[in-house]
Amino acid sequence: MGSGHTVVVFGAYGHTGRFIVRQLRERGFVPVLSGRDAGKLRELARSEPGSDPRPASVDDPASLDRALAGAAAVVNCAGPFAATAGPVIEAALRAGIPYVDVAAELEAIVDTFTHFTDRARAAQAVVVPAMAFYGGLGDLLVTAAMGDWTEADEVHIAYALSSWHPTAGTRASGAVSRQRRGGRRLRYTNGQLEYRQDAPPTLRWPFPEPMGARTVIGEFTMADVITVPRHLSVPDVRSYMTVEAAREVSAPDTPSPSAADDHGRSDQTFLVDVLVRSGGAERRAVATGRDIYAVTAPLVVEAVDRILCGRTRTVGVAAAGAVFDAPDFLRALSAHVSFDLLPTRQQAGAAGR
């Protein structure tokens, strides 16, 4: 458990940040509220007795240093991460503490690996980008499905969301990503990222029963296509999204998430279906749960807890599956995520292609 460790949450007043602050408290940590808007920090602090609000700006390194002073770790929830990840990682390295973020911006995650891998490793620091529903959960599921395989031919990660009401942060981060790639889309194939101008394919994905086959947007590229190849030998990683959820998140008039229970979770449900193929065999991992933003909190806090307890497998910039024992980590989330590993079977056809 947290054992009173102090953890700075940068962007604490955001939608996901609030879930993380609550989860930290429940796990025995002491959250420090930080972010760029001092007014929002004070407002949040009034609802969090004993909180320590520390305003900080990514344009002011000294303010970040003050915010991180005496902390055991920092969690960055403030997008767009193209602007915040670099400065907050720099501050974490200066403070000598681990860094975890919830970035889903593909380019920002690439930047973290590109610019900080060598420095973080040299400092024996742990930096975990994309430790969220997109990136963290998918990467852990793929790693668990791989099991004793050291390489695979292809990985498919299919998302089925009952709905997708995006937060303001999701919209802002998406806009930055679209601008950075000039409206093009990304996919990971033949061992490299590839920019494309054409529309993504639409196909049927065989989700497990009782859901069954659903129409999905193929090559709906999420953070997993960045994290998985960083530590697993797989030349093709593709992700998919049910068409209804893809349309909702893209529509300008889709409302933000609204609370449907006492924990602040929406009524959104999710199913993540991972298929790994190697030679003529395939392995599968499936996870189900509720509210992709709320479930990010136990993912993040479990990661922080394991890092601070030394239950890690590597240092430097690393994806979730490289840092942690993936099956054990997923089982630890049983109060929030149902997780199943299906037995290896021989490939029967080309489903999902």
What residue has token string 């000039």? 182
**Angle, CA of 288, 209 and 329, to the nearest 5°:** 25
Span 319-323, mean pLDDT?
98
Element (H, E) at 18: helix 15-26
What per-residue confidence (pLDDT) applies to 347? 74
pLDDT band of 352, cuts 50, 70, 90: very low
Q: 3-state DSSP call for residue 162?
A: coil
Contact assessment for residue 100 and residue 16, using Cβ atoms and an 8 Å cutoff = no
What per-residue confidence (pLDDT) applies to 353? 38
pLDDT above 90 (res 337): yes
pLDDT band of 349, cuts 50, 70, 90: low
Give the tens place of pLDDT for each residue, 205-214: 999 988 999 9
pLDDT band of 3, cuts 50, 70, 90: confident
Helix, strand, coil in percent for the chain, rounding step 5 = 35, 25, 35
Tokens of 239: 């992700």
Span 268-294, mean pLDDT?
97
Domain 136-292+335-346 carries which CATH code? Answer: 3.30.360
Number of Cβ within a 10 Å radius of residue 123 = 16
What per-residue confidence (pLDDT) applies to 99? 98
Tokens of 131: 């430790």
Q: Is the pTM value of this prediction over 0.85?
A: yes
Span 101-123, mean pLDDT?
97
Residue that wins the pLDDT comparison between 46 and 296: 296
> Which is nearest to 27 in space by CA: 302, 327, 303, 337?
302
pLDDT band of 32, cuts 50, 70, 90: very high
Greatest Cα pair distance, the chain, in angstroms, is 59
Domain spanning 6-132+296-326: CATH superfamily: NAD(P)-binding Rossmann-like Domain (3.40.50.720)
Number of Cβ within a 10 Å radius of residue 86 = 16
C-alpha to C-alpha distance for 314 and 76, rounded to whole angstroms: 20
What per-residue confidence (pLDDT) applies to 48? 83
pLDDT above 70 (res 179): yes
Tokens of 294: 């709320």
> Which is nearest to 196 in space by CA: 187, 207, 206?
187
**Angle, CA of 195, 200 and 204, to the nearest 5°:** 140
Span 223-243, mean pLDDT?
97
The share of the chain scoring above pLDDT 70, in percent, equals: 98
Q: 3-state DSSP call for residue 239?
A: strand
What per-residue confidence (pLDDT) applies to 2? 64
Q: DSSP for 75-98, please give it.
A: EE--S-HHHHHHHHHHHHHHHT--
Tokens of 202: 């639409």
Span 83-102, mean pLDDT?
98
C-alpha to C-alpha distance for 350 and 329, rounded to whole angstroms: 31
Write down the domain spans for the chain. Answer: 6-132+296-326, 136-292+335-346
What per-residue confidence (pLDDT) applies to 346? 87
Span 107-124, mean pLDDT?
97
pLDDT above 50 (res 86): yes
What per-residue confidence (pLDDT) applies to 296? 98
